[in-house]
Amino acid sequence: MSKYFLKQLALGVAVTLSTAGIAHAEKWDMPMAYSGSNFHSVTGAEFAQCVTTGTGGAIEIVTHPSGSLFKGADIKRAIQTGQAPIGERLLSGHQNENAVFGFDSIPFLATSFDDSAKLWKAAEETINSVLDKQNLVLLYSVPWPPQGLYFKKEVNAVSDMEGIKFRSYNNTTARLAELTGMSPVTIEAAEISQAFATGVAESMVSSGATGYDRKVWESLTHFYEVDAWLPRNYVMVNKDVWNDTSEANQNVLRGCASLAEYAGNWRSKEYTGFTVNGLRAGGMTVAPPSDGLRAELQEIGKTMSDEWMEAAGAEGKAIVDAFNAM
């Protein structure tokens, strides 16, 4: 499916859905944490255009990628409090608020796109309920490609990671660093390139997409395809703003969100192979982990999974049970 087709489909559906005239135009600033070239940001920009066109300009969504309006860690709070009406965030970045937000980052539970979709189906109702209580309405969710480990040296065992400065972006990654003997350093996506170039960080767990977008081969040398998990980005709207939006324009937002979710999933799958090949072209060694390293990581993953289940309580258990029953 071509990008042109997706754009035309989005435009056509949005125009079809829109039945309301322009009573008054509203500008919705949409903060996003990742670079404008990242596939999440590209999908978000197309979603914004779909809504703007579909509402006849009644709602004009303007995207602000690369943390240019709010830093990644501040985006969710900005939407909750009405500082921004809409935005995108890696929701597992807020596990410290509620452990259930980390359902998509349980190590080695859902390691493929198919399993990620099943896990999201199992968790969606719970996540929507939690967000509703936080004055948020979820519009769509798109997974990242499978997460791998980046280093600036060859790593064949967990002992090789001792003392390495590790980029952390949520509770799961911070805990992974602790259990492998690395030192977690909180770094937002927009700061990755500088952090590696200056030695603030020396390693991370992330997708090939993030590494490719940030040209990490300029500082790092190895990418291990451990397929640890597929975290998700979410686009959310302030609930008060949503309730003040006409039913016709809500329908446009929902329709455009469905198209964005479809397009984002497609892009994520296509981008996986492309970006991994891009890392190779940049000079990085791309390979699966050694059998010994994989076994050690699996053991660490089990520890982390047990800890998450305990923290997430009944809600977390219900999500995992529903996923395992599919």
What is the rounded distance in angstroms from the CA atom of residue 66 to the CA atom of residue 69?
8
* Average pLDDT estimate for 172-198: 94
Q: What value does the mean pLDDT of the chain take?
A: 93
pLDDT at 135: 98
* Average pLDDT estimate for 196-211: 96
Residue 73 has pLDDT above 50, yes or no: yes
pLDDT at 189: 85
Residue 151 has pLDDT above 50, yes or no: yes
pLDDT at 17: 47
190 pLDDT tier (thresholds 50, 70, 90): confident
pLDDT at 14: 46
pLDDT at 247: 97
What is the rounded distance in angstroms from the CA atom of residue 311 to the CA atom of residue 23?
47
Instruction: Name all domains of the chain by residue range, CATH numbers in brackets.
Output: 3-145+231-275 (3.40.190.170), 148-228+284-324 (3.40.190.170)
Residue 250 has pLDDT above 80, yes or no: yes
pLDDT at 25: 85
Q: What is the 3-state secondary structure (H, E, C) of 135-184?
A: CEEEEEEEECCCCEEEECCCCCCHHHHCCCEEEECCHHHHHHHHHHCCEE
12 pLDDT tier (thresholds 50, 70, 90): low
Residue 20 has pLDDT above 50, yes or no: no
CB of 292 within 8 A of CB of 157?
yes
Residue 261 has pLDDT above 90, yes or no: yes
Residue 291 has pLDDT above 90, yes or no: yes
| Sequence-distant (≥ 6) Cβ neighbours of residue 148 within 8 angstroms | 205, 206, 207, 208, 223, 224, 225, 226, 227, 228
pLDDT digits (tens, 9 = 90+) for 88-125: 999 999 999 999 999 999 999 999 999 999 999 999 99
pLDDT at 284: 98
CB of 8 within 8 A of CB of 16?
no
Instruction: Provide the 10 A C-beta neighbour count for residue 279.
Output: 22
What is the rounded distance in angstroms from the CA atom of residue 68 to the CA atom of residue 298?
37
126 pLDDT tier (thresholds 50, 70, 90): very high
Q: What is the pTM of this model?
A: 0.88
Residue 5 has pLDDT above 70, yes or no: no
pLDDT at 3: 52
